[in-house]
Structure 1
Amino acid sequence: MKRQPLRLAILEATRILEAAGVESPRNDAELLAAHVLGVERGRLPLVPLVDPPVIDAIGQLVAQRAKRVPLQYLTGWAALGGITVDVGPGVFIPRPETELVFEWGRSLLKGREYPLVVDLCTGSGVLALAVAHARPDAVVYAVDVDPHALAWARHNADARAAAGDTPIRLYSGDVGDPTIFAELDGLVDLVLCNPPYVPPGGDLPPEVVDHDPPQAVFAADGGLAVIRQVIATAARLLKPGGGVAIEHDDTHGSAVPSLVAARKVLTDVADHPDLAGRPRFVTARRATSP
């Protein structure tokens, strides 16, 4: 069997994905090729020729991606904060925008020794695990109400602990429960949350509508129901000077900061854009004096 140029296979994959409406066709084509070859994406130029079975394997994955199956389901992983976690059916796929929430939180923790961190609506566990990886001295709690998400989070937590990261403390619970983590009231340095926040009926791509768990995407009250609960919980958990970051829908650029500011114990309220410049997450700090 004659070997074939990998470059041509990637070009063809890019064409197919572009025609299918995939948002980042070249990126996805290269990542799928790298996945099949078992190499990092940046090393693809070092593989000029491949055997026909490799071309076939890439083609099969590209066909699935063209049907708008999420890239992360096909590769089996998602990256955030310098780590990767396993993902698949039943768990929300981490988005690049959440990297900004993580970076804000990591910046807040600078200069704080042995910080206490809580990740609400943890999903795959990626935010909590990224913090534990970046700050081995942190004590990190994470919670989710969905048993399927928790199964993925437990799997990922075990894998990160086996790799040498500080274990996180993973719990089943509802962020709307006023007693959740009551033993941590007034002690937490950082609260992070990427909650369900899309208003019902929102216009979303097939990757989200057909594959992400609806309970991890949509929320009642125009997408604000869970966010309201998260704000109340964060206000209770944070120590003076502690900070909170909450991701929200791009239509919530005014509503969510207003909800946060309504909590008199929360100050320095600011909204932040995502990678495309759209309103995406709100931050605040717990007041240091009454």
Structure 2
Amino acid sequence: MVNLVCEAILPDCPMKDVEEIEKSIMTTYKKSIWAKFLKAISDFDMIQDGDKIAIGVSGGKDSLLLVKLFQELKKDKRKNFEFKAVSLNPGFRNSDLDNFKNNLDKLNIDCDIINTNIWEIANEKAKDYPCFLCAKMRRGILYTQVEELGFNKLTLGHHFDDVIETTLINMLYAGTMKTMTPKVPSTSGKLELIRPLIYVKEADIIDYTKTNGIRAMNCGCTIEAGKTSSKRREVKNLLAELEEKNPGVKQSVFNSMKNINLDYVFGYTGGKEAE
């Protein structure tokens, strides 16, 4: 049976000191997270000298890790770039927002929070399924704010599993063959979106989060919490079943996006847009 409830990730212990958490990135998770983060940046030439990079922080496990990785990267004095954590509050409950701010403080993350009422507006205008409108509004506001602050790049916390889930969602429900790319220009063309976690598996991010005692924000959204079905949740569970029966299925889906033979498709279109 498909589980449509957004499950919380419970830490295994109280949050460790930030120094110990940072050390774990370069020791315990050096191979599974740090090396893959560096490889993605290198493979896709994501960062250049003089870049001003905004890091989109949702408060979840992926974006909190992403900021810590950039903090470690910045310690390399050969890297000439600036970065700043930026968060969009779509209307979190006070308890969720307090937990988010507490995590930022304990993890030594300086983050600008942009307060909005996106969830309220989306639920009013599209009550049956507000996800599309919500996502569109969040992207529009975040991109605009980041551009106005003078950044030329926005980095997002999408990981390996997000890529393969998006691939299948587009195939199964949209009838198209596309996925999240490592970097892509924003709709306005003023920003470049980059995804340095594209090689990092969600299971390793979860392990890092739990082992270090980080109580990352769960979905505050009523849609993901089970108000209606989530196509991403359905696909995630389908992939888990397939991977259990045939280890390597996820990697094959990921690799397929690098091995498209245009001689064996009915047709194709060109052009990129920010996902």
Higher relative contact order (CA 8 A, sep 6+): 2
- TM-score norm. by structure 2 comes to 0.38
Instruction: Compute the TM-score of the two structures, normalised by the length of structure 1.
Output: 0.36
* Higher helix content, 1 or 2: 2
The structure whose Rg is larger is 1
